[in-house]
């Protein structure tokens, strides 16, 4: 009895061991089969991709990478209209905003990332914040002049006062203005980054305005202006300071129109600039007479007629 029982017990132990061993082998084969199926039939959850950083500035670069074992084709969409077909690389955004980055693998599997891009903080040097006024020191009455804010980096608001009234005359960095009354004025410019206004002094000279000279007849006024015009042309012809005489005539009579027509001796025509440039080098010219023609509003002269000759 005891011998038979021992034999049966040994057989049972041997069979149990074989059963356990077979079970282990089956479980291992099943696991290997699952891994194989997993590799043959992946899903989007098996994607191994990342992007960094998720919060960045326009100065930073976004790093993107994928190491999915089943990936053969890549297509990254960065949310700003650009794409990449590489497994990894760097991308820069040019504008601040929120972007959705999408990875498409094998044209079948996808993953999505959300990126925030911020503007960089622009530090303005103190020196660049100092503002000044770029404007002429003198101008003619009714002359439209250009005035601009110079410097003042970071300012977004401008208030100009040109001194003819207590009101704000303009609110842009670049303005044009014409004084109506001769005199000396202080131009003030206020901005949102300066405690006190920038200042610029300007002198406004009396300009051509025959309709305000009530004590003189139109004919007498024209004779006065024509004599004045003739005098300055003769000074140019005599080789005296060109700029002083030329710009005097341009500002006072021609409303800064250097292309105003000038007729010479009833037969030849030039624009005023070309005529004066030639006149300064044409030796021995005598300006005999000048005739001026005003525009309909009588604000400036629209054309000039000159009679001239030469010293024999």
Give every CB contact of residue 38 below 8 A, 6+ residues apart in sequence.
46
The pLDDT score that the predictor gives to residue 59 is 85
Same domain as 136, residue 87: no
Same domain as 132, residue 79: no
C-alpha 308: how far from its chain's center? 51
DSSP3 helix / strand / coil % (the chain, rounded to 5): 30, 35, 35
Same domain as 225, residue 158: no
What residues are paired with 188 via a beta bridge? 161, 199
> Which residues of the chain fall short of a pLDDT of 70?
1-21, 23, 27-41, 44, 121-129, 208-218, 296-299, 312
The pLDDT score that the predictor gives to residue 140 is 82
Listed residues 118, 145, 166: the one ending a domain: 118
The pLDDT score that the predictor gives to residue 202 is 94
**Number of domains the chain is built from:** 3
Give domain status of residue 1, yes or no: no
Same domain as 72, residue 139: no
Helix (H, G, I), strand (E, B) or coil at 77: strand
CATH of the domain at 168: 2.60.40.10
- Residue 193: φ, ψ to 5°: -115, 0
Give domain status of residue 29, yes or no: no
The pLDDT score that the predictor gives to residue 124 is 54
The pLDDT score that the predictor gives to residue 256 is 85
Give domain status of residue 73, yes or no: yes
Give domain status of residue 187, yes or no: yes
Same domain as 248, residue 180: no
Domain range enclosing 49: 44-118
Give domain status of residue 16, yes or no: no
Same domain as 162, residue 73: no
Same domain as 110, residue 140: no
The pLDDT score that the predictor gives to residue 9 is 53
User: Does the model's pTM come out above 0.75?
Assistant: no
Give every CB contact of residue 259 below 8 A, 6+ residues apart in sequence.
271, 272, 273
Same domain as 163, residue 137: yes
Task: Give the Cα-Cα-Cα angle 144, 221, 219 (nearest 5 degrees).
Answer: 130
Same domain as 155, residue 96: no
The pLDDT score that the predictor gives to residue 163 is 93
The pLDDT score that the predictor gives to residue 188 is 94
Q: Where are the beta strands (DSSP E) in 72-211?
A: 74-77, 83-84, 88-91, 97-105, 109-118, 131-134, 138-140, 145-151, 158-161, 174-177, 183-191, 198-205
Listed residues 172, 187, 205: the one ending a domain: 205
Rounded to 10 deg, the angle between the 272-279 and 218-237 helix axes is 50
What digits encode the pLDDT tens for the residues 169-222? 888 888 988 898 889 999 999 988 877 889 999 999 877 655 444 445 667 777
The pLDDT score that the predictor gives to residue 293 is 86
The pLDDT score that the predictor gives to residue 306 is 95
Give domain status of residue 13, yes or no: no
Give domain status of residue 22, yes or no: no
| Token pair for 125 | 């040097």
Give domain status of residue 7, yes or no: no
CATH of the domain at 251: 3.10.450
The pLDDT score that the predictor gives to residue 62 is 93
Give every CB contact of residue 46 below 8 A, 6+ residues apart in sequence.
38, 68, 70, 109
Same domain as 234, residue 194: no
Pairing of strands 83-84, 55-57: unpaired
For 197, the enclosing helix (H) or strand (E) is: none
Listed residues 69, 92, 118: the one ending a domain: 118
């Amino acid at each position: 009895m005891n011998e038979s029982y021992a034999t049966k017990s040994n057989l049972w132990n041997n069979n149990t061991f074989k059963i356990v061993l077979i079970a282990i082998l089956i479980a291992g084969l099943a696991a290997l089969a699952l891994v194989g199926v997993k590799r043959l039939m992946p899903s989007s959850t098996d994607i191994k991709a990342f992007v960094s950083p998720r919060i960045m500035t326009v100065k930073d670069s976004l790093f993107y990478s994928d190491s999915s074992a089943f990936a053969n084709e890549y297509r990254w969409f960065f949310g700003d209209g650009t794409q990449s077909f590489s497994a990894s690389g760097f991308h820069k955004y040019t504008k601040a905003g929120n972007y959705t980055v999408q990875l498409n693998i094998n044209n079948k599997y996808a993953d999505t990332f959300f990126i925030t891009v911020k503007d960089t903080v622009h530090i303005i040097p103190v020196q660049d914040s100092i503002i000044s006024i770029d404007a002429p020191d003198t101008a003619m009455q009714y002359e439209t002049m250009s005035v601009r804010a110079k410097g003042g980096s970071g300012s977004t608001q401008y208030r100009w006062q040109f001194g003819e009234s207590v009101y704000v005359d303009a609110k842009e960095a670049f303005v044009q203005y014409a004084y109506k009354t001769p005199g000396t004025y202080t131009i003030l410019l206020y901005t949102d980054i300066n405690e006190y206004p920038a200042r610029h002094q300007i002198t406004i000279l009396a300009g051509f305005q025959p309709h305000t000279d009530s004590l003189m007849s139109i004919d007498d006024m024209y004779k006065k202006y024509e004599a004045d015009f003739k005098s300055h042309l003769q000074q140019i012809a005599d080789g005296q300071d060109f700029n002083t005489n030329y710009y005097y005539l341009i500002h006072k009579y021609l409303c800064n129109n250097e292309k105003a027509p000038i007729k010479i001796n009833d037969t030849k025509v030039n624009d005023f600039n070309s005529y004066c440039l030639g006149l300064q080098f044409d030796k021995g010219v005598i300006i005999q007479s000048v005739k001026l023609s005003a525009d309909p509003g009588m604000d400036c002269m629209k054309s000039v007629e000159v009679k001239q000759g030469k010293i024999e």
